[in-house]
């Protein structure tokens, strides 16, 4: 049976059954994806591993930049290629498989090389992470289009929030497991085990998309546009997205600080290695508890108003890190709680806002263009690493708060113009 997007037709019982199946399958994927990603969280686990390997803030910040570029840069080219295709699911499954393979390979390499060649292991680590995050970038294009097709607009807040809420217990379990592994398994085998378990979690998560019934889209052009025509489409899309992009760029300064909260605690506040597991646990709990609040705000007040409250939270978090740091590393636990809320809030709010703006036939283009236009955010972590070579962590956190506060003002104006 073929399914096409219908603007005004009443859904049949069969279509309602497929809608429920797709909703549940999407939640399954989100829950187990969160489990896998919590085991290898980039702002705690990966940052701590890179810091152990290299002892350099430039490596920590530079790696965050490389990963973001690897995930974003190919998306516009992939969008032009995928947009004419009525079904995107096979390409999403291929990208997910690439991520599973790269994480499994990385786990084996860490175990095989051990501590004998730390710099060589660091470069291998970067290579495998680039493949993993490039796979995530390739998956983002079909994912955005598929979710836009199978989740109605009036249920997207419930979907994104419900996905996070169901992911909560698994993420908390992953954080507790991570804490035990980091504390009780010898380095670097503890990190090898984490990446191996993460690959398993992502494989389980992929079953959700194997179960989804993607409808054929009748609102696509079956031919790939020539670059000169596609360029005009991009220019028009960028005009429609300018407020969204501006909001992401300014509030994206919050991501500049995220990888360095854990490094600050380890290097400046003498937190023990086992503290990384506690930071991750608290961060996961913060993200889980905030999901229902973000979802309710999206459904009842709109994505823009929700993003305003997320930006206010993002502004206060680095200030809180400065204020609490004299009391020791344990006092930073609220900072990681809010960091989790911020990360999930940005995902819920900006994904919802993008789907509201993007025309049905151009979702792939809007998703790819959004990734490319927000690419400057990728270089903020590298800039932070260089900044910390000459300035202090509190100076960095206060600088971040100033830019994100400006972003909150811009989002407030954007929301009021709606």
C-alpha to C-alpha distance for 254 and 377, rounded to whole angstroms: 10
**Which of the residues in the chain have pLDDT under 70?**
1-16, 64, 153-154, 156-157, 164, 217-223, 418
C-alpha span between 170 and 74 (Å, rounded): 31
Task: Give domain status of residue 221, yes or no.
Answer: no
404 domain-assigned: yes
- Whole-number pLDDT of residue 4: 40
Domain count of the chain?
A: 1
Residue 10 lies in a domain: no
DSSP structure string for 170-221:
HHHHHHHHHHHHHHHS-TTHHHHHHHHHHHHHHHHHHHHHHH--PPPPSSS-
Which pTM was predicted?
0.66
41-57: pLDDT as tens digits: 777 788 788 877 777 77
DSSP-derived 3-state class of residue 391: coil
Phi first, then psi: what are they for 95, rounded to 5°? -65, -40
Domain that holds residue 400: 15-210+228-416
pLDDT digits (tens, 9 = 90+) for 307-344: 999 999 999 999 999 999 999 899 999 999 999 899 88
What is the pLDDT at residue 221?
A: 57
pLDDT at position 15: 60
CATH number at residue 269: 1.20.1250.20
Whether residue 3 is contained in a domain is answered as: no
49 lies in some domain: yes
In a domain, 237, yes or no: yes
In a domain, 218, yes or no: no
Asked, as a colleague might, if the bond just before 192 is cis with ω within 30 of 0, I would say no
Q: Establish if 29 belongs to a structural domain.
A: yes
């Amino acid at each position: 049976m073929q399914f096409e997007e219908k603007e005004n037709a009443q859904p049949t019982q069969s279509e309602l059954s497929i809608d429920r199946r797709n909703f549940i399958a999407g939640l399954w994927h989100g829950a187990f994806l969160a489990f896998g990603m919590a085991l290898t969280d980039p702002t705690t686990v990966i940052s701590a591993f890179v810091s152990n390997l290299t002892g350099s803030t430039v490596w920590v910040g530079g790696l965050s930049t490389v990963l973001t570029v690897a995930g974003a840069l190919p998306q516009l080219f992939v969008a032009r290629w995928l947009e004419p295709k009525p079904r995107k699911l096979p390409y999403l499954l291929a990208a997910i498989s690439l991520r599973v393979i790269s994480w499994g390979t990385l786990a084996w390499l860490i175990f095989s090389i051990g501590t004998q060649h730390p710099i060589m292991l660091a470069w291998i680590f970067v290579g495998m992470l680039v493949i993993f995050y490039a796979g995530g970038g390739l998956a983002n294009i079909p994912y955005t289009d598929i979710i836009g097709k199978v989740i109605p607009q009036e249920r997207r807040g419930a979907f994104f929030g419900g996905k996070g809420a169901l992911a909560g217990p698994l993420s908390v379990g992953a954080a507790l497991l991570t804490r035990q592994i980091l504390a009780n398994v010898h380095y670097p085998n503890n990190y090898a085990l984490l990446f191996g378990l993460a690959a398993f979690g992502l494989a389980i998560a992929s079953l959700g998309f194997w179960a989804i019934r993607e409808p054929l889209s009748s609102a696509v052009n079956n031919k790939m546009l020539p670059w000169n025509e596609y360029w005009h489409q991009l220019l028009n899309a960028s005009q429609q997205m300018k407020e969204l992009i501006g909001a992401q760029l300014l509030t994206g300064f919050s991501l500049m600080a995220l990888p360095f909260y854990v490094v600050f605690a380890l290097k400046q506040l003498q937190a023990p290695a086992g503290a990384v597991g506690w930071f991750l646990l608290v961060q996961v709990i913060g993200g889980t508890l905030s999901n229902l609040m973000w979802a309710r705000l999206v459904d009842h007040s709109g994505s823009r108003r929700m993003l305003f409250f997320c930006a206010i939270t993002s502004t206060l978090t680095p200030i809180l890190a400065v204020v609490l740091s004299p009391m020791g590393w344990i006092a930073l636990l609220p900072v990681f709680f809010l960091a989790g809320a911020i990360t999930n809030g940005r995902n819920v709010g900006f994904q919802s806002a993008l789907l509201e703006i993007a025309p049905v036939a151009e979702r792939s283009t809007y998703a790819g263009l959004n990734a490319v236009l927000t690419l400057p955010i990728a270089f903020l972590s590298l800039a932070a690493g260089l900044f910390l070579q000459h300035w202090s962590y509190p100076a960095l956190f206060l600088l971040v708060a100033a830019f994100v506060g400006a972003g909150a003002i811009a989002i407030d104006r954007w929301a009021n113009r709606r």
